[in-house]
Amino acid sequence: NVVPVCLLLALMLLAPALSAQQERGLIFNLEIGELCMRSVQCKSGCCHRVSGLSLARCAPKAAEFQECSPKHISEVYYKCPCESGLTCDADKTIVGSITNSNFGVCKDPRDFDKW
């Protein structure tokens, strides 16, 4: 009779730890600053690296008037894509993508008439 009570107690203590592990994870739902390989792993949606030799880490998406990169197939950015609702006004040519010079500025598409 003592064993089932101990087992029940152990399960009650482990339940919060198991649920917290599923929320965050080791591969997905990564927080800002954690190492990543693709943007889909980050809660923010941006896996950012400072240079070609640096490790990529999750970073916040770019806000209005901040530098940005258009969405890229590699999902690792030197400049994060814009927050939801904003557009990255950048060089979207293939040359800009290859030379990694396709940075722009996040703008509200409703304000394009003002630019």
Asked whether the predicted pLDDT for residue 96 surpasses 70, the reply is no
Return mean pLDDT, the chain. Answer: 80
Q: What fold, for 26-112?
A: Lipase, subunit A (2.10.80)
Asked whether the predicted pLDDT for residue 10 surpasses 90, the reply is no
d(CA 67, CA 79) in angstroms, rounded, equals 6
> Per residue in 53-83, is it b (16+ CB within 10 Å) or e — as a string?
eeebbbbebbeeebebbbeeeebebbbbbbb
Domain ranges of the chain: 26-112
Confidence of residue 92 (pLDDT cuts 50, 70, 90): confident
Confidence of residue 15 (pLDDT cuts 50, 70, 90): very low
CA atoms within 13 A on the CB side of 85: 6
Q: What does the pLDDT average to over 57-77?
A: 92
* Two tokens, residue 112: 């394009």
Q: What does the pLDDT average to over 75-83?
A: 94
- Residues counted in the chain: 115
